[in-house]
Chains A and B, each alone.
Chain A
Amino acid sequence: MQTETGGCRGGFCLAIRVRSKGVHVTHDSFAASPVCRGISSRVRIFALSVAALWSCFAVNGVAAGDEPQDATQRQLHFKGYPDAPSFQVLPRRDDLFFYPCSQCHEFMEASDTVRELDSPHDIELDHGGGRLWCIQCHSMDERDMLWTMLKEPVDFDEAYIVCGGCHANRQRDWYYGSHGKRLEVWQGERVLYNCTHCHDAHSPSIKPRAPVAAPPVRAGMERPDGEVHRPESVWQRHEAVQQGGTAGEH
């Protein structure tokens, strides 16, 4: 997300490595309309026009047309949290380079076999520690949609419905605002970041990154030149006693 006062510097954004004609490009920013260099111009033009078309509909942050904002108001069994304050979700679909998936997957048969994939999506699946396969989240019926565990179709812009299927407590926190991030304002209409804005759905854990520099000290002074005083912990002391037989020092 690019914000005025700071930006996330990669590491946990959706990263799709695109390999085409031997050229490697990695997306690691949420530009509204990513332009990928080195890809065949035909695919690029096609993708751009699709993205342009879809962004017309995605302006209000809604999946399509005038449908209700919160997906739970549609025909899902999961009714959401009605007493959570209302919200809109920042759209994600325009950031997905290969969307719509059906442009390729219409011609491929959906398979639920766990196998080695050789595909333009060089995705490393590190989600669930081996419990998940693609079709847990990606619909086999409608290739441009995700689906819930009850096989109800869910748009990419409402990915939070899918995530909540397993991460129910986290989803509830997200609905009520104790998890996730809200855009711009603290009051009034809520616009929330989707789960996948921060968590790469295929490798959701937040990756370590470099911190901003340490605080300075007052002008004209040097940072104190000594170690932080950290005595050993309680169990370390007992371990030392039990191993060495001598009382540990504070």
Chain B
Amino acid sequence: MNTEDDDTRQPTFDDARRRFLKGLGVGAAGAVAAASLPTPAWGGQTLKDALGGFFQKHYQKMSPEEVQAALERVERRAKERFGVDINCENTPPMEGVVFGYAINLSRCKGYRECVAGCVKENNQGRDSQVQYIRVLELKKGDFNLEHSDHYYEHETVPRDGHFYLPVQCMQCDDPPCVKACPVEATWMEPDGIVVIDYDWCIGCRYCMAACPYWARHFNWTNPQIPAEELNPETHYLGNRPRPKGVVEKCHFCVQRTRKGRQPACMEACPTGARVFGNLLDPKSEIRYILEHKTVFRLKEELGTDPKFWYYSD
């Protein structure tokens, strides 16, 4: 058979097979190429990232390589969503450290600088309008939270005859939210911070019902952050950009505190009302306060054992 007479001879099975394999090869190459292309079908991610994210394991179950892959996915996602190059880290907890926080109610004047600092540091959605810290204004002589004003807007603060109570996640040592979560998306780390794996949370919001301090917040919509305000120094369990449909809360600025820096709220407070440190260090400021000042915790009777105290001079 003269193979050069292609026009006249009948196609053989070999021809068909060759054509099929060639097509398969082209198709496979095309699929691989398509998998690395961002497409709207996967929310702007590449197919590889979308699948990788979907099948991603729980943070505590991932190997170091898998964690690294997850961090890189977060970084790529942020680049795609905001056009900003971020750095997502996984700084482990410090040895011999359990964090504690205290607020001096005599010093808090209700400026809400802590709130502003937190929003900027932690990449909270301006549209989903999550704020980890809420400052309550109460009338002197009345500690009933139901009489508090959350939305005070005065020309100047502090307002005469009133005092201010900032509330955020208490990082309870017996956290009801950790018990409530059906998929263990939230847990307490060795340094005492109660963290959330935002890629594991299914968004059932049971933890929000369980929290006695209204500390947990939900992304009802996609968090919108102006690119120029995005904080690029992030931690996977902390202020990395979050998707919609997951719960988030104060995490004691894990991206800062695990490197020795103060949480953003403490740094922002102009009056020095906030004190943060290592409860296991007997010479720390926080220990001094707990041992020498009259301190209390909110809703102590619920047995949540918060690591967040209030004191006054």
Task: Tell me the residues in window 1-57 of chain A with beta carbons closer than 8 Å to chain B beta carbons.
Answer: 1, 3-8, 12
User: Is B267 touching A211 in the complex (CB atoms < 8 A)?
Assistant: no
Query: CB within 8 A of B116: which of A193, A212, A230?
Result: A212
**Contact A186–B270 (Cβ < 8 Å):** no
Please tell me if the beta carbons of A178 and B267 are within 8 angstroms of each other in the complex: no
Looking at B117, B149, B267, the one whose CB has the most chain A CB atoms below 10 A away is B267
Checking A8, A178, A217 against B270 with a beta-carbon cut-off of 8 angstroms, the contacting residue is A8
Contact yes or no, A182 B262, CB < 8 A: yes
Is B49 an interface residue, CB under 8 A from the partner? no
A198 interface hit (Cβ, 8 Å) = yes
Given A6-B270, A211-B112, decide whether A178 and B147 contact each other with a Cβ distance below 8 A: no
**CB within 8 A of A211: which of B111, B117, B147?**
B111
Inter-chain CA distance A218–B244, complex, in Å, is: 13
- B115 near A178 (CB under 8 angstroms)? no
Q: Does A68 contact B (CB under 8 A)?
A: no
**B313 touching A179 by the CB < 8 A rule?**
yes
Q: Which among B13-21, B150-158, B198-206 touches the partner chain?
A: B150-158
Please, how many angstroms separate the alpha-carbon atoms of A143 and B262 in the complex?
Answer: 38
B113 touches A6 (CB 8 A): yes
Residues of B within 8 A of A123 (CB): none
Min CB distance A212 to B, Å, is: 4
Residues of chain A contacted by B146 (CB below 8 angstroms): 229
- Per-residue CB proximity of A189-228 to B under 8 Å, as 1/0? 0000100001000000010111111111111000100001
What's the interface size class on A, roughly? 35 or more
Q: Determine whether the beta carbon of B268 is less than 8 Å from that of A184.
A: no
- Are the CB atoms of A219 and B156 closer together than 8 Å? no
- Name the CB-closest residue of B to A180: B272
Cα(A113)–Cα(B51), bound, Å: 82
Chain A residues within 8 Å of B116, by CB:
5-6, 212
Are the C-beta atoms of A178 and B275 separated by less than 8 Å?
A: yes
Q: Which A residue sits closest to B268, measured CB to CB?
A: A6
Q: Is the CB of B272 within 8 A of A181?
A: yes
User: Residue B134 at the A interface, CB < 8 A?
Assistant: yes
User: Are B277 and A186 touching (Cβ within 8 A)?
Assistant: yes
Contact assessment for A186 and B115 in the assembled complex, using a CB-CB cutoff below 8 Å: no
**In the complex where A181-B269, A187-B277 touch, is A219 in contact with B220 (Cβ < 8 A)?**
yes
Asked if B154 and A187 sit within 8 Å, CB to CB, the answer is no
Q: Is the CB of B104 within 8 A of A218?
A: no
Cβ-defined contact, A176 with B285, below 8 A: yes
Residue of A whose beta carbon sits closest to that of B265? A5
| Cβ–Cβ < 8 Å partners of B283 in chain A | 83, 85
Chain A nearest CB, measured from B128 CB (Å): 6
The residues of B that contact A83 with a CB separation of less than 8 Å are: 283
A187 touches B260 (CB 8 A): yes
Q: Mark B74-118, 1 if CB is under 8 A from A, else 0.
A: 000000000000000000000000000010100101111101110
21 contacts between A and B (CB under 8 A): A3-B268, A4-B267, A5-B116, A8-B270, A170-B313, A177-B284, A177-B289, A181-B272, A185-B262, A186-B266, A198-B272, A210-B156, A211-B152, A211-B154, A214-B151, A214-B152, A214-B153, A215-B129, A217-B129, A219-B220, A233-B141
In order of increasing CB-CB distance, the 4 nearest A-B pairs are A177-B285, A181-B272, A6-B268, A208-B156
- Interface residues of B, Cβ cutoff 8 Å to A: 102, 104, 107, 109-113, 115-117, 120-121, 127-129, 131, 134, 139, 141-142, 146-158, 220-221, 257, 260-264, 266-272, 275-278, 281, 283-286, 288-289, 292-293, 311, 313
